[in-house]
Amino acid sequence: METYDYIIVGAGSAGCVLARRLSDDPSLSVLLLEAGPPADKFWVRAPAGMAKLYFHKQLNWNYFTEPMPLLHDRRMYWPRGKGLGGSSAINGMVYIRGHRKDFDTWRGLGNPGWGFEDVLPYFKRMEHNDRGEDAYRGVGGPLWISDPVVRHPASADFIEAAARVGIPRTEDLNGEVHDGVGFMQHNIRKGRRQSAYTAYVAPVRGRTNLTVRTGAFVQRIVFDGLEASGVELIEEGRQRTIHAAREVIVCAGALNSPQILMLSGVGPGDELQRHGIRQIIQSPGVGRNLQDHFYVHTSYRATRASSYNHEITGLRKYWQGLRYLLSGTGYLALGSSQVAAFVKSRPEEDYADLQISFRPMSFTYHGDGVVEVDPAPSMAASVYRLRPAGTGTVSLRSADPRQSPAFQPQFLTHPEDVKAVIAGIRQIRRILASEPLASRVLGEHMPGPHAVTDDEILEYLRTHGNSAHHAAGTCKMGQDAMAVVDERLRVRGLRRLRVVDASVMPHVTSGNTNAPTMMIAEKGADLIRQDALVYRASVDGGPN
């Protein structure tokens, strides 16, 4: 009987953190399972490689949503990391924690221990910020946080232009003042991506009490009554069952964790019955409350000095490649965006409900998932609503684990979301029309001068809007009837089973979600150690 104390399903942003922290105790045995392959590739390590990974056949689940009626029946592409590091191995590496009120709201929804002052120590514990330590930043943690190695003049001008239209400056978007405009930091160390695997697991991969398996596709959780006892998986073409002496911890992300629960008999009763799955427990919230940031991209033709498009296209891209290989610097060492502005869509908002991101380059997103840098000098800005009112669902397409789930994000179904994003487009235009940035602009390319009225801008959103790939909330924690886990991340009504990833967020955070997901796992590891369940009585001899 192959048995471990803890089985972690998914080696993504949360799973890698948990594996490191739980295996810090040499008396515990930890198994980390990943359906995808190792991710030790050049374009994973190089920050600019994110475009190469956007539709990668091995390192990406390559999901699509269901057709969305309000977006001209488009099936939107949803990339998700598949491999060691999960989405942290393919994302834009932006490090944003979210607003302190996000976490205070979590606590207010019946989750004691999740307010900002509760979670701040976990953020600090995981960080090594190259700015040094202060009341908000940490040093000495596994995850390296750095400033852009190139601060483009156009980015500095965006900050100045935003300040001139009334957006306050902030020196640290993760510090005391979140709302405002400033340079972002990234999970990059000496020019290399810091995925959760690179930061947390790779340095301790030789531990005898930590086992990491790739190509291990978990089909379902195995139960003994109402107690999780292990997992059933496919590995090297063979089906096997591995037992957990203490707990099974699902860290498969907001899109896959609810799928695994439902395939295991944990979910809405009608959903399970429809697919002939034996119900272990009725949990109506599994796969509900899907939240994501609806994202819209704008671009502007610019003077040559205002964009680095020409540096990463044509023959000059080879010079940038050589520069990167020799020094780990240059434009290939940058994250996805340089600057962010957190602003209100209307004065009545309690705190910023829009994130505007700016980059002194532009790209074209093609419907087949290909991302291509534009050949002409251009700048780009994007906006999304931070706290969406509309929520969607993750449901099963079939009882076959190999079939991808069905995703209905319900973008633009709530009028407040529509109004907010339209207001964001108008704020981008105000900033780009203000000096010193205005002198760099030669003309608006997208949405373009034809999109003036709210209806015309809405049509642009429907045609070109996308996902920011910040899915969350599908196994939310709380006390209400739709809560899937409690404040200790234990699946309600069951024993020895937890969910630890972005799916437990009651509400998606105000910004990029990778940092808060890793924080959830840092805190989750402490909760698991504090609960310290004894060996399951039915497991002979303890873990191997």
Active site residues: 470
Helix (H, G, I), strand (E, B) or coil at 169: strand
Residues 500-544: pLDDT tens digits?
Answer: 999 999 999 999 999 999 999 999 999 999 998 777 766 554 444
Q: What is the DSSP letter of 159?
A: H
Catalogue the long-range contacts made by 389-392 (C-beta closer than 8 Å, 24 or more residues apart): 389/414, 389/416, 389/417, 390/414, 390/417, 391/288, 391/289, 391/290, 391/291, 391/473, 392/290, 392/291, 392/292
Sign of CA dihedral 253, 256, 258, 264: negative
- Measured CA to CA, the distance from residue 30 to residue 37 in angstroms comes to 19
Contact 504, 13 (CB under 8 A): no
Distance CA 490, CA 477 (A): 9
Query: Distance between CA 76 and CA 122 in Å, rounded?
Result: 34
Q: Indicate the pairing of strand 30-33 with strand 210-213.
A: parallel
CA distances from 5 to 164, 408, 490, 493, 495 (A): 57, 36, 16, 21, 14
**Collapsing DSSP states into helix, strand and coil, what is residue 76?**
coil
For residues 295 and 50, what is the distance between their CA atoms, to the nearest angstrom? 18
Structure tokens at 375: 């050949």
> What angle do the packed helices 514-531 and 13-23 form, to 10 degrees?
30
Vertex 379: Cα angle to 375 and 383 (nearest 5): 125
What is the pLDDT at residue 370?
A: 67
Helices then strands (H, E): number in the chain? 13, 28
Q: What per-residue confidence (pLDDT) applies to 368? A: 59
C-alpha 410/C-alpha 294 separation (Å) is: 10
Structure tokens at 80: 């998700």
Q: How many residues does the chain have?
A: 544
Phi, psi (rounded to 5 degrees) for 384: -150, 155
Domain boundaries, the chain: 150-183+294-385+414-464
Distance CA 329, CA 408 (A): 40
pLDDT at 541: 45
The pair of structure tokens assigned to 4 is: 């471990």
Q: Are 217 and 373 within 8 A, CB to CB?
A: no
Return the CATH fold of 150-183+294-385+414-464. Cholesterol Oxidase; domain 2 (3.30.410)
- C-alpha to C-alpha distances, 357 to 161, 425, 449, nearest whole angstrom: 14, 12, 21
List per-block mean pLDDT (blocks of 10 residues) for the chain, which spans 544 residues: 96 98 97 95 91 89 95 94 97 96 97 98 98 96 96 97 97 94 96 97 97 98 97 96 97 98 98 97 98 95 94 84 89 91 96 97 72 88 96 97 96 96 98 97 95 97 94 98 98 98 98 97 97 70 46
How far apart are alpha carbons 131 and 343 in whole angstroms?
25
Q: What is the DSSP letter of 142?
A: S
Radius of gyration of the chain (CA): 23
Give me the sign of the Cα torsion angle 323, 326, 327, 329: positive
Each residue's pLDDT tens digit, 368-421? 556 778 889 999 999 999 999 999 999 999 999 999 999 999 999 999 999 999
User: In the 3-class helix/strand/coil scheme, how is 521-540 assigned residue by residue?
Assistant: HHHHHHHHHHHCCCCCCCCC
- Using CA atoms, how far apart are residues 329 and 384, in angstroms rounded to an integer? 30
Q: What is the pLDDT of residue 320?
A: 86
The type of residue at 195 is S
Identify the H or E element spanning 235: strand 227-235
Residue with tokens 């203000």: 434
Residues 29, 38: Cα–Cα separation, whole Å: 21
Count the neighbouring beta carbons within 10 Å of the beta carbon of residue 262: 24
290 SS3 class? strand
